Structure 1
Amino acid sequence: MSKYAAILAAGAVAFLTACAPGSAATPGGGSEDGRLRVVASTSILSDVVKNVAGDAATVTGLMPPGVDPHTYEPRLHATRDIAYADVVFTNGLLLEPQSLTRTVETTARPGAAVVELAEQAQRYGFSPIPLVEDASLDTVWLGLKVATKGDLPPTAVADFRLTGARGPGEAAAFVLGTFGTPEVLFNTRDRVDHKDVTTLPTDAHTHVSWAFSEPGVYELDFRADVRPSVDATEVRESVERTVTVVVGNDPAQAAPGKQVIDHGHVDIATVVDGESSDIVLRGDAPPDLGTDEAVIAVPNTTLQPIPPQREFRFLGQPGQETYLLPQAVLGRHVHGELDPHLWHDVSAMKAVVQVVRDELSAADPANADAYAGNARGYLAQLDEVDEFMSAAIQSIPEENRNLVTTHHGYSYLGRAYGMKIAGFVTPNPSVQASPRDLMALTRTLENLDVPAVFLEPELAGKSNELTETAKTLGVRVCPIRGDSLDPEGSGEARSYVEFMRANGASLSECLKGRE
């Protein structure tokens, strides 16, 4: 952002704030009634912070209930709220999208406390779970990743560009959204040009689907440009490498002498260490492989028909076949190395409460006793919720404590209360599930004799073949809350306490066994 643009933006925020009906904001921080002004990113965190703040502070939530925190885009009112806040609480661990992180970094006023709660909660015993994803597919997962060791600002990003491609057919990379709509990242069918680029924040990773129209050897040229922020034009680091992919052929014969990567979770990773940069192939276990040392294998078992929906015409005509490496996790999942979904473990949120108490007291010492008293009362409520969750899960026969759901973010629930994360049912009404997808789901439900699968309320009725498979097997489809409180006027989980009690009750009632 230019200096002139920044001045205009600041002026707009000040003008809108001054003109907003009932606005209590003052440019020096605090509000007209003298109370501390606090902002929290997600609806869950907003409720938790309000319980600790009580009447001593004004708390504003950036994301309304019902909004997915992974995809939230800040509006002007959010920029205004951040600009006048004394304390800004975010979840951290790359839960919030880069656009919100960048807005907080550039908008929070000097002297305001900006607190990433998941990181700070570790001083009160919270232990984050590493994101070691299931690599049980019989093909490789091929994602994109940015790994940094150098002195880069937290707003830094890396642009992955496809600059050239050689092979017997066309190649494409895309991301499937939650409802099955593809977002194209790279595509050689319309020639390689400026559109073949995607941007990731530093120390982040995303899943990608890859499609190849013909068998043979493909050479894909990538360039990674590292910039201080998404708005910056300055390139701090730049590196180019070629990734080789062998499709439908024997990779040992097509690329003799190179290591074959044909399973597990592997990323095309930009590595920035402050002195030099590289693009490598990084798996779940070290060491990294140079792009000239290894090839990605795409077997003939990945061959499948192109979906009939118009959105997939970038792959070819309906009925034609393509070799597809699936992204495995539906949706644009951009995340770091640690799972950010800590709120599914009440004990983790008790650590968050203590951090909130400390930060509010440091920003507003005159009301420290009030914050401490509110925190004590709220922690007592959370103790009861924690006991309720433990009892709810213990009421489920041990052989039925298998969680199959649409969402990948329940590892903390599993660790805290003894649930096994057995698999994911992924609603995808825009793209017909393949016979192999349905077979895998069927085998999971049959082999584990799962009484119920779980969908977030906002996805109920939108899962098509996948929930139909559950119903065909006599498996119930039950609700589970994921990343947000229920919107006003819908649902029973309007607070964090209600959110956890609703999930515990649903799990207990639905998994006790078949009637």
Structure 2
Amino acid sequence: MLNRILALTLMAALVLSACGGTQPAPTGGAAPSPAASAPTTAPAAPAEPTIAPTTPSLAAAPPLKVLAAQSFLADIAQNVAGDRLTVEALIPRGVDPHLFEPTPADVRKVADSNVLIVNGAGFEEFLESLLANAGGERTVIEASQGLTSRTAREGEVAVMSSEELSDALCVEAADLFLAAEEITAGADRASAVELGMHKEEEHDHGHDDAHEHGGMFWQVALTRQADGTYAGFLKWDAEGGEIAIATSGGALVVTSIDANAAVEAEETLTLACSGLTQALMMDVEKGEHLLALSGFREPQATLMISTPGGHHHHDEGDPHFWLDPTKVVTYVANIRDGLISVDPAGAEVYRANAERYTAQLNELDRFITEEIARIPEANRKLVTNHESFGYFADRYGLRIIGTIVPNISTGASPSAQQLARLTDRVREAGVQVIFLETGANPQLAEQLARETGIRIVSDLYTHSLSDADGPAPTYLDMMRYNVKQIVEALQQG
């Protein structure tokens, strides 16, 4: 028994000697410190640094994939999401959303997403087909929901929706119906009846209502065709400008006699008023035009030619709400509520972030107000590439003289007559500067500059942020940069 105890003691001594063999010996003969004499173990891995959260810490964020259509919208949404979610932009920076065409890779991004944030108000014209191609289900947050499209102020060209234009035409038709006169249309081009539209002729015919409303209303007798339908031709001496030609069925083609080419319709409206069923919206130049009527089921067609107040139109009105930061407050609220709906556990985070970012938007609004006040009041006039600065002008007291592209979309093209009218307005108003967005084609602006002596400022960011190292990497930076460019240019006159 004693031998067994001695053996166990010797074994324990050998084990302890082996464990301490790697400990370095004290140097300089100094007694070991208490720490040095403590039992040694492998040092613990250093702890990760603790970072104070910028937003309340709640349950772990779900693995949601969040897409925003535009880069500025992704930045706004990221400020609401904070560190809890990552928001990716669908449209790359520098790409005009009006001209964006989704690639198969973009469709896959949307297909993989759980949340898609869009501006709304008709801005994403590609959205319907993109969602159809992507399939699946996701939450779509419309940032501009609840905002009302602006109404043009005095001196501006109004932006009307298709529904508003349809209503306006129906009102005109109702007012002018009693002033209708019957015209026998020509059976072919050679026998086409002359249709005068000059103002003095309107008075000669006694159509005071027509003169007041800018339209003329006729009952047109047509010629029976071999297939049983009715057709005819009219020659129309047009004053030029934007017009609507409404009919009571059938097909209508407008041809410029000088150019011998069809005038392209900007939009076709479906009507249901005063016997009218459809209207073609178009821009015609002054001169003779041929109206070809065909495919009518009745021997008499109703025809109205109207100048709808010089209105331009867009299916949903003006969607550029984000250029007024006070309206972006609504964006923030909609994004906050949308994220809470898909991630209720993050509600406190999203509310806190939204409140903080809203305060920054209010500060931005004060900054812009102070900066615009530095512009002499007589110089607070804007000419831009297309109709995008309406809300900005409304908020900060600027007047929009005109736009090169008289449309909400940058994809539209102005006619020669529209450019001529803009040139006249620029001269009459004494405007000295025209503002273009980055990436805009400067050709028409340069033509306007040659004719009027106007200066061009061509680097505003409106639909896309810049790269990270550019002047507008965030929405707040974008707005401050644009304001600086506008103020500096308009201060000079």
- Please give the range of the TM-score, normalised by the shorter of the 2 chains: 0.5 to 0.7
Write the deviation string for residues 220-271 of structure 1: whole angstroms up to 9, x where unpaired. Answer: x999xxxxxxxxxxxxxxx95344869789xxxxxxxxxxxxxxx996412x
1:88 and 2:116 aligned:
yes
Structure 1 contact 42–62 (Cα < 8 Å) conserved: yes
- Of 97, 112, 123, 1:69 maps to 97
Classify the secondary structure of the residue corresponding to 2:149. Answer: coil
Q: 2:344 aligns with which of 365, 369, 388?
A: 365
Given candidates 383, 391, 415, the residue that maps to 1:404 is 383
Offset at 1:73? 1.9
Distance in 1, Cα, partners of 2:188 & 2:69:
46
Contact persistence 1:344–1:412 (CA under 8 A):
yes
Q: 2:143 aligns with which of 89, 113, 117?
A: 117
In the alignment, structure 1 residue 39 sits paired with structure 2 residue 70: no
What is the root-mean-square deviation of aligned Cα atoms in Å?
4.9
- What letter corresponds to residue 464 of structure 2 in structure 1? L
State the alpha-carbon separation in 2 of the partners of residues 127 and 296 from structure 1.
Answer: 24
1:463 counterpart = 2:484: no
Contact preservation (8 Å) 2:460, 2:485: no
Instruction: Tell me how far 1:96 sits from its aligned partner.
Output: 0.6
| Contact 1:442–1:469 (Cα < 8 Å) also in 2 | yes
Measured after TM superposition, the shift of residue 356 of structure 1 is: 0.9
Which SS does the other structure have where 2:99 is aligned? coil
Structure of larger gyration radius: 2
Q: Could you tell me which of 432, 437, 446 is aligned with 2:427?
A: 446
Matched, 1:269 2:269: yes
Determine helix, strand or coil for the equivalent of 2:434: strand
Flag the 1:82–1:269 CA change in 2: closer, same or farther, 3 A. same
**Worse overlay, 405-414 or 475-484:** 475-484
Classify the secondary structure of the residue corresponding to 2:357.
Answer: helix
Q: Deviations over 1:255-311 (max 9, x none)?
A: xxxxxxxxxx996412xxxxxxxx56xxxxxxx55448999999882469xxxxxxx
1:471–1:477: 8 Å Cα contact kept in structure 2? no
Gaps of at least 5 residues in structure 2 are 1-59, 168-185, 191-232, 239-244, 259-264, 290-305
Q: SS at 1:387's partner residue? A: helix
Matches within 5 A, 1:162-177: 168=189
TM-score (norm: length of structure 2): 0.57
Alignment of 1:50 with 2:78, yes or no, is yes
Alpha carbons of 1:135 and 1:506: their partners in 2 closer, same or farther (altered >3 Å)?
A: closer
In 2, distance between residues paired with 1:167 and 1:142? 36
More helix by share: 2
1:104 aligned onto 2:116: no
- Distance in 1 between residues matched to 2:350 and 2:283, nearest whole Å: 57
For 1:397 and 1:67, the matched residues in 2 are separated by 34
Mapped contact 2:382–2:434 kept (Cα < 8 A):
yes
Contact 2:393/2:399 (CA < 8 Å) preserved in 1?
yes
In structure 2, which of residues 470, 482, 491 is the aligned counterpart of residue 503 of structure 1? 482
- Look up the equivalent residue of 2:321 and give its one-letter code: L
Q: Residues 267 and 83 (structure 1 numbering): CA distance in 2 closer, same or farther, change over 3 Å?
A: closer
Equivalent residue number for residue 301 of structure 1: 286
Q: Distance in 1 between matches of 2:431 and 2:456?
A: 11
**Per-residue deviation, 1:473:** 4.2
Residue 214 of structure 2 corresponds to which residue in structure 1? none
Whichever residue aligns with residue 269 of structure 1, its letter is L
Q: Is residue 461 of structure 2 the alignment partner of residue 494 of structure 1?
A: no
In 2, distance between residues paired with 1:300 and 1:365? 58
Matching residue's letter, 2:250: R
* CA 1:473–1:248: 2 relative to 1, 3 Å: closer
Which residue of 1 is the match for residue 221 of structure 2? Answer: none
Q: CA deviation at 1:38?
A: 1.1
Distance 1:76 1:296, change over 3 A: closer
Aligned to 2:250: 241
Q: 1:481 to 1:108 in 2, by over 3 A?
A: farther
Equivalent positions of 1:180-329 (< 5 A) are 215=235, 241-243=250-252, 268-270=268-270, 279=271, 288=273, 290-291=275-276, 301-302=286-287
Which position in structure 1 is the counterpart of 2:209?
A: none
TM-superposed CA distance for 1:78, in Å, is 2.4
Match of 1:128 among 149, 159, 183: 149
Q: Is the 8 A contact 1:65 1:485 kept in 2?
A: yes
Decide whether the 8 Å contact of 2:384 with 2:403 is kept in 1: yes
1:333-358 Cα offsets, whole Å, 9 max, x none, are 98424321111110110111111112
Aligned residues: 342
**CA distance in structure 2 between the partners assigned to 1:408 and 1:300 by the alignment:** 22
| Residues 84 and 246 (structure 1), Cα distance of their counterparts in 2 relative to 1, 3 Å cut | closer
Q: What secondary structure is seen at the aligned counterpart in 2 of 1:56?
A: coil
Give TM-score scaled by structure 1 length. Answer: 0.55
Amino acid corresponding to residue 241 of structure 1 in structure 2: G
AA paired with 2:269?
Answer: A
Kept after mapping to 2: 8 A contact 1:405/1:424: yes
Partner Cα distance (1:113, 1:293) in 2: 37
Distance of 1:474 and 1:300 partners within structure 2: 26
Structure 1, unmatched stretches of 5+, are: 1-31, 150-164, 170-212, 224-238, 250-264, 271-278, 281-287, 305-324
State how far apart, in whole Å, the 1-side matches of 2:477 and 2:116 are: 24
Determine if contact 1:400/1:512 at 8 Å carries over to the other structure: yes
Counterparts of 1:496 and 1:421 in 2: how far apart (Å)?
23
CA displacement at 1:401 relative to structure 2: 1.1
Shift in alpha-carbon separation, 1:422–1:290, aligned structure 2, 3 A: farther
